[in-house]
Structure 1
Amino acid sequence: MKILFVGDDWLGSNARSLAEGFRARGHEIMVIDSTPATLPPRLSPSWAYAKSHERRAPWTVEHVHTRLERAAAELRPDLVFAFKSVHLDQRRLLDIPAALHVHYSPDDVSNPVNTTPSYLATESEWDLVVTTKRHNVRELLDRGARNALFVRSAYDPAWHHPSARRTSRQYLVGFIGACRPDRRDGMVSLARTYGAQLLVRGPGWRRVRQLRTTRAEIGGAVYGEDFSIAVASVTANLVLLNSDNRDTHTCRTFEVPAAGGLFVGERTDEHAELLSDGAEAYLFSSRDELDDILERCVAFPDEVAKVAAAGHRRIVEGGHSYADRAEEILRALG
């Protein structure tokens, strides 16, 4: 197929990984980067406009659509694939000549922050809406979507793979991900208990004053291969979910074990389906359970290394790459 793909194409983005997944399956693909419109640089005029108008700056949206329409005229695509493109002009996306138009959302599409009025008004016109949240499928169909497909998140083998350590320091426990209100108190509590044995990396954590007063190592976001390098320096890699998305799994579900890290995650049905608790991962439902797991990591390092290795095999041999997800989507389209 010839696929015209629009999504945020920065290094380490899931959109870039999925686009490469289609390419890896032998399809001709042209990617148009929507980042200038959807994630304008902080303090730029387009950023200020988005903050004051609650929509993206018209000139940045026009720039993306101009590139899309020129690309469509050259490629003559069979499929227009939009990766969380709710901030673009939905009418112009759907009017691009192609046999199929697909919208993909990595987030909960019933959460208002992940939609726009213009997207909702035209949602029923997409040939397929893809979601990584199982509960969204019925919700999408109930509000008029023509067709909805659940696919799990994935990992990118180009970035998520076992990596050599770049430091002599080995942290007992670590979390790589954004600071969110539902994570803040728990992370501060972990930092007070484990101090210098804890690594926290991701947007927003340096602004948490209570965290800065502990001995925990706090750093910024890491993307692409740098994520795997960070995982290599942590024994127990926490997989925490986003309550606003009603997550039962997340990208980290696949990225951590693919990178060779020990998966220590919140207990959900999906996590239990994907990885065997105690043999391929460690799951917890409470802080006491998490503390017990971390004590095990200290007392039985050889055992937990075997669990990490088994989790790695389960994910990389289980059909969970972005190329596998691309194939699932195209199979659903027939």
Structure 2
Amino acid sequence: MTIKTILYVGEQTGNSLSRLNALRRLGYTVDVITPRLLLPRSSWVDKIFWRFSALPFVWWVNRGINKALKSKNKYDLVWVNAGDYLMPSSVNILKAKADKIINYNTDDPFGGRDKLRHFGYLRAISLYDLIIVVRKPNIGEAYERGAKRVHFCFMAADEVDHRPLKFSDEDIKRYQSEVLFVGTWLPERGAFLSDLISRGVPLTIAGKNWHKAPQWHKLKNHVVAQEGLWGADYVKAIQCAKVSLGLLSRQNRDLHTTRSMEIPIIGGLLCAQRTEEHEYLYKDCVEAIFWDSADQCAEKCLEMLNERELRERIAKKGQERAIKNSHLNEDLLQSIIDNLNTY
């Protein structure tokens, strides 16, 4: 089966947009449907979605998909990113317009976090020709839910969006930090980063919802970008940080995240929780720094801040290893498409 035309169903922001652009760079003809844009533009829609799932909006989604596809020829492939807004009836509409339909999801729909958000995905899982997951426990869980075929892969950085950038003296003044964490607040993260601060780690935080942390009184002076960092701002912040933390989500059962790929490929020093997958990706103290507790994380951060030559050597080796690992969007997406009939 030769794939030439793809319908991409997903957000046109963040890592989803990076995957969409990677498919186009690979030479595929790609049309896009973004389900959220088919719904009323009201904050109430998002509140209802997070509390009750996308089920109340199935009529709007299906109407919008039918309208978008009315004059379109059949596609070789429908690539669904996440699929949170798609109920089984929505997936069936898409299936009628393509030879194959696959789902790529970097979340943990089977875990304890955001369960209602993934209601549609779980109900429709048996309708996809291939389910792609990034957590090994999800393989068996997907089959238990009726999936036809399931493939595990590591998360990926992007060849273009995460390439190192040239930066000026002004950029250094704007973005420089000692120890940086870029990410959204989660309960365990607030306690962990508060602990690092108490242990003397000069921390900078960029991300959403940190004001919700019970430790906000301690964290607030360390938060510099409450809407997060994106695009060139994100890349330059990693480049100008001496140490970049890679934190995991316990509820999402993370053993690695996109940060595990992005930080080294950008050229930053990855300092992350020790896991089996992290140790598979990088050699500890040679290509990245791993820790098992807040105390050990603080100790290693402070050590790296005092050892410039060692810090820069590990960051360089980490970048070389990340390039060798090649967990990058173009390579990943092309591999999935090339092997679509063999998984």
Give the TM-score, by structure 2 length.
Answer: 0.86
Which residue number corresponds to residue 318 of structure 1?
A: 325
Q: C-alpha displacement at 1:287, in angstroms?
A: 2.0
Contact 2:288 2:318 in 1 (8 A): yes
Q: Does 1:4 align with 2:26?
A: no
Contact 1:94 1:101 in 2 (8 A): no
Contact 2:58 2:86 in 1 (8 A): no
Q: Does 1:249 align with 2:250?
A: no
Aligned-partner Cα distance in 2 for 1:186–1:26: 44
1:146 match: secondary structure: coil
Q: C-alpha displacement at 1:93, in angstroms?
A: 2.5
Any residues of structure 2 matched to 1:74-113 within 5 Å, and which?
74-95=72-93, 96-111=96-111, 113=114
Q: C-alpha displacement at 1:52, in angstroms?
A: 6.7
Aligned-partner Cα distance in 1 for 2:193–2:208: 14
1:99 match: secondary structure: strand
Q: C-alpha displacement at 1:227, in angstroms?
A: 1.0
Aligned-partner Cα distance in 2 for 1:51–1:282: 36
- After superposition, the C-alpha distances for 1:170-206 in whole angstroms (9 at most, x for unaligned) are 32211100100121101112233336x2100111113
Q: C-alpha displacement at 1:9, in angstroms?
A: 0.6
2:97 match: secondary structure: coil
Which residue number corresponds to residue 23 of structure 1?
A: 24
Contact 1:21 1:324 in 2 (8 A): no
Q: C-alpha displacement at 1:303, in angstroms?
A: 1.0
1:236 match: secondary structure: strand
Which residue number corresponds to residue 225 of structure 2?
A: 219
The letter of the residue matching 1:329 is I
Any residues of structure 2 matched to 1:1-334 within 5 Å, and which?
1-10=4-13, 13-36=14-37, 44-47=43-46, 49-50=48-49, 53-55=52-54, 57-58=57-58, 60-62=60-62, 64-66=64-66, 68-70=68-70, 73-95=71-93, 96-111=96-111, 113=114, 116-163=118-165, 164=167, 166-168=171-173, 170-194=176-200, 197-208=202-213, 210-213=215-218, 215-220=221-226, 221-334=228-341
- After superposition, the C-alpha distances for 1:146-167 in whole angstroms (9 at most, x for unaligned) are 0001111111122212232613
Q: C-alpha displacement at 1:111, in angstroms?
A: 2.3
Aligned-partner Cα distance in 2 for 1:300–1:216: 23
Q: Go from structure 1 to structure 2 and tell me whether the alpha carbon gap of 1:305 and 1:67 turns closer, same or farther (over 3 Å shift).
A: farther
1:4 match: secondary structure: strand
Q: C-alpha displacement at 1:62, in angstroms?
A: 4.5
The letter of the residue matching 1:147 is R
- After superposition, the C-alpha distances for 1:122-144 in whole angstroms (9 at most, x for unaligned) are 31121001111121112111222
Aligned-partner Cα distance in 2 for 1:24–1:100: 21
| Structure 1: gaps spanning 5 or more residues | none
1:244 match: secondary structure: coil
Aligned-partner Cα distance in 2 for 1:287–1:52: 33
Decide which moves more: 311-320 or 231-240. 311-320
Q: C-alpha displacement at 1:68, in angstroms?
A: 4.0
Identity of matched residues, %: 25
2:75 match: secondary structure: coil
1:122 match: secondary structure: helix
The letter of the residue matching 1:83 is N
> RMSD over aligned Cα, in angstroms?
2.4
1:292 match: secondary structure: helix
The letter of the residue matching 2:153 is V
Aligned-partner Cα distance in 2 for 1:48–1:117: 15
Aligned-partner Cα distance in 2 for 1:319–1:52: 38
- After superposition, the C-alpha distances for 1:21-57 in whole angstroms (9 at most, x for unaligned) are 222222221122233368x86x634335446754354
Q: Go from structure 1 to structure 2 and tell me whether the alpha carbon gap of 1:45 and 1:308 turns closer, same or farther (over 3 Å shift).
A: same
| Structure 2: gaps spanning 5 or more residues | none
Aligned-partner Cα distance in 2 for 1:276–1:28: 39
2:159 match: secondary structure: coil
- After superposition, the C-alpha distances for 1:204-258 in whole angstroms (9 at most, x for unaligned) are 1134363444542432211222211221231110001111110111010011111
Give the TM-score, by structure 1 length.
Answer: 0.89
Q: C-alpha displacement at 1:321, in angstroms?
A: 1.1
Decide which moves more: 275-284 or 170-179. 170-179
- After superposition, the C-alpha distances for 1:264-302 in whole angstroms (9 at most, x for unaligned) are 001011101111111110011112321221232122111
The letter of the residue matching 1:204 is N
Aligned-partner Cα distance in 2 for 1:288–1:209: 20
Aligned-partner Cα distance in 2 for 1:213–1:292: 20
Contact 1:20 1:323 in 2 (8 A): no
Q: Go from structure 1 to structure 2 and tell me whether the alpha carbon gap of 1:90 and 1:69 turns closer, same or farther (over 3 Å shift).
A: farther
Contact 1:2 1:75 in 2 (8 A): no
Contact 2:142 2:150 in 1 (8 A): yes
Count of residue correspondences: 327
Q: Go from structure 1 to structure 2 and tell me whether the alpha carbon gap of 1:216 and 1:122 turns closer, same or farther (over 3 Å shift).
A: closer
